Amino acid sequence: MGQPTFETIGAVKRYDDAFALGPLDLSVPSGSTTALIGPSGAGKSTLLRLLNGLVWPDAGEVRFRGRALSRAELPAIRRQIGYVVQGGGLFPHLDALGNVALVARWLRWDEQRIEARAAELAHIARLPPDALRRFPSQLSGGQAQRVSLMRALMLDPEVLLLDEPLGALDPMTRFELQQDLRDVFARLRKTVVLVTHDLAEAAFLSDRAVLMRAGRIVQQGAVEELIRAPVDPFVTSFVRAQRRAP
């Protein structure tokens, strides 16, 4: 897959003198879909924020396409990274189109280009065209997540980072969006890193899973490898805790 899109090298993040993450070494292959999994407090969202430059490592470094992230280059790099948060994170005073087009308008795209791109993304995300004129309070949870995904894709970024994008949805909506997300990942072939607690979701959406505990990587590889050949009792316990109702 060539040069990794992201690398962390000895990355450490502390909060109030407590380790939240690391030391952590991770390589995210270009064009791959990587799922960060693990219990609450494992450091998954912190790692995602490090990759996005929302927080900065206290030690070590984060590299994007082989170069260490720098504060000076961060605005330009962020335009190459789409970010989706749980619940959508939409601005309530803007309609769906306003949310999707926010950065494009700041970059002074003309309205014809914005509307053409929004229509293209609505088709990809399977959002009804009339929903673009609704405000977040008028959207269902699934529609809000589709709008959030469209916003993340608006500038056609190289990378998608998703922090539990389906965690707040009911099971039926979540099931439908899982299929849609997998189709979007396959169609667009971007580098994707997503956070989830759900092992089955990780297996369905990703090429590889990174299982974390207490800010460190315990095991990584295909979900089938974690199930078939756990490296320690924690991996076995995590897999067993994912049991489904019959």
Residue 172 is predicted with a pLDDT of: 86
Whether 159 maps to a domain, the answer reads no
pLDDT of residue 243: 66
Least confident of 111-120, 128-137, 160-169: 160-169
Is 1's pLDDT higher than 90?
A: no
Residue 175 lies in a domain: no
Q: What is the mean pLDDT of residues 82-110?
A: 92
- Residue 165: the pLDDT is 85
- State the residue range of the domain holding 213: 1-75+190-246
- Place 173 in a pLDDT band, splitting at 50, 70 and 90: confident
39-87: pLDDT as tens digits: 988 999 999 999 999 999 999 999 999 999 988 998 889 899 999 987 7
Q: What is the CATH number of the domain that holds 12?
A: 3.40.50.300
Mean pLDDT, residues 119-140 taken together:
94
Q: What is the mean pLDDT of residues 20-48?
A: 92
Q: Is 36 a member of any domain?
A: yes
Q: Is pLDDT larger for residue 43 or for residue 167?
A: 43
Residue 49 lies in a domain: yes
Q: Is the predicted pLDDT of residue 120 greater than 70, yes or no?
A: yes
Please indicate, yes or no, if residue 130 is contained in any of the structural domains.
no
Helix 141-153 vs helix 111-125: crossing angle, to nearest 10: 130
Total domain count, the chain: 1
Could you write out the DSSP letters of every residue in 115-147? HHHHHHHHHHHT--GGGGGS-GGGS-HHHHHHH
Residue 170 is predicted with a pLDDT of 82
Inside any domain, residue 177: no
**Non-local CB neighbours of 6 within 8 Å, separated by 6+ positions:** 26, 27, 28, 51, 62, 63, 64, 159, 191, 193
Tell me if 162 is assigned to some domain.
no
Give yes or no for a cis peptide into 23 (omega within 30° of 0). yes
Task: Please report which confidence band the pLDDT of residue 246 belongs to, taking 50, 70 and 90 as the band edges.
Answer: very low
The total number of residues written for the chain in this structure: 246
- Please say whether the beta carbons of 7 and 26 come within 8 A: yes
Looking at the chain, the whole-number percentage of residues with pLDDT higher than 90 is 77
User: What CA–CA distances, in Å, run from 62 to 15, 53, 66, 102, 208?
Assistant: 18, 9, 9, 27, 20
pLDDT for the residue 2: 64
Q: Is 217 in contact with 24 (CB distance < 8 Å)?
A: yes
The pLDDT of residue 245: 42
Q: Is position 56 within any domain?
A: yes
What's the whole-number average pLDDT of the chain?
91
